[in-house]
Structure formats: structure tokens, C-alpha cells
């Protein structure tokens, strides 16, 4: 088989479709193996290997999502540091350029917070992922 006809999976930066495709491929291999006339020991070994592969992929996805959320946390912390100039703005004749800059910083903080929250929700909603905390827990 040549490289042209072989789909190469790049695990360095998988897209959501790539990850879904990998999970589907594992499921298809499981279906084929379990529906063939292989001996029991072979089936058990393949099933065990596929289960380990699924767990490994799930952990990689969890790590990716947590890293993405942490990246947004660090971005927000850096942006908050830039907002210190906002403390110099008083009610009497504020500098329009400082107001414009502060409003853009707030927009960037809001976008980073929304992205971080989306990554955490994605982690919570992931198939067989971490269960959301019970109400009242943090």
C-alpha cells in the first residue's frame, strides 16, 4: 500500500473529526474481530488491546482539553495584568484611548473565559469522560 492510499493519523494535533474517526475505527476493528471465527484467546487479547487503546485515547483527549483550559487561565491572568492602567482612569475627563484599550482587554478576557469554559464543558460531556460534579460540589 502506498502513502497515497493510506490515511495517516497525526496524533500531534488531532481535530475533533480525527478523534471521532479513530474511535469509530477502533469500534469497527472490534466488530470485525468479534464477528470472526478466531479462537477465544486471540479475541480476548485483541479486545484487551482495543480497550487499552480506547483508554489511552480518552486520557489524551482529557489532557488536551485540560491543557486548553489552563492556557486560557494563563491568558486571562496576563490580560488582567495589562488592565492595571485602568486603575488610573478617573471619572474626570478619562483618556479615550485608555478606555478603548481597556474595553478591548475586557473583550479578550471574556473570549478567553468563554473558550476555557467550553473546553471544560467538552471534557464533562465527553463520551465516557468525567462525570459532572453533583450540584453543590465544586
Residue 102 is assigned to a structural domain of this protein: yes
Residue 138 lies in a domain: no
**Count of structural domains within the chain:** 1
Whether residue 50 is contained in a domain is answered as: yes
Q: What is the DSSP secondary structure assignment for residue 6, as one 8-state letter? A: S
- 135 occurs within a structural domain: no
Q: What is the pLDDT along the chain (138 residues), one digit of tens a residue?
A: 333 333 333 344 456 666 677 778 888 887 877 777 666 777 778 788 888 988 898 899 899 999 999 999 999 999 999 988 778 777 777 888 888 999 999 999 999 999 999 999 999 988 555 544 444 444
Q: Does residue 27 sit within a domain?
A: yes
Residue 134 placed within a domain: no
* Structural domain contains residue 80: yes
Cβ(50)–Cβ(30) below 8 Å: yes
Within the chain, how many helices (H) and strands (E) appear? 3, 0
Residue 126, classified by CB atoms within 10 Å of its CB into exposed (0-12), middle (13-18) or buried (19+), is middle
Reference 61, options 16, 21, 97; nearest CA is: 16
Name the residue range of residue 105's domain: 3-125
- Taking the C-alpha atoms of residue 1 and residue 124, their distance in angstroms, rounded to an integer, is 40
Q: Which pTM was predicted?
A: 0.65
Amino acid at each position: 500500500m502506498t502513502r497515497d492510499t493510506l490515511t495517516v493519523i497525526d496524533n500531534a494535533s488531532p481535530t475533533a473529526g480525527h478523534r471521532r474517526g479513530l474511535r469509530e475505527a477502533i469500534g469497527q476493528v472490534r466488530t470485525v474481530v468479534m464477528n470472526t471465527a478466531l479462537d477465544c484467546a486471540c479475541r480476548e487479547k485483541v479486545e484487551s488491546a482495543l480497550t487499552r487503546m480506547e483508554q489511552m485515547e480518552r486520557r489524551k483527549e482529557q489532557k488536551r482539553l485540560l491543557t486548553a483550559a489552563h492556557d486560557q487561565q494563563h491568558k486571562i491572568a496576563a490580560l488582567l495584568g495589562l488592565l492595571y492602567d485602568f486603575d488610573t482612569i478617573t471619572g474626570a475627563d478619562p483618556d479615550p484611548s485608555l478606555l478603548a484599550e481597556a474595553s478591548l482587554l475586557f473583550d479578550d478576557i471574556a473570549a478567553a473565559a468563554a473558550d476555557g469554559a467550553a473546553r471544560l464543558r467538552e471534557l464533562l460531556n465527553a463520551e465516557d469522560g468525567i462525570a459532572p460534579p453533583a450540584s453543590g460540589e465544586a
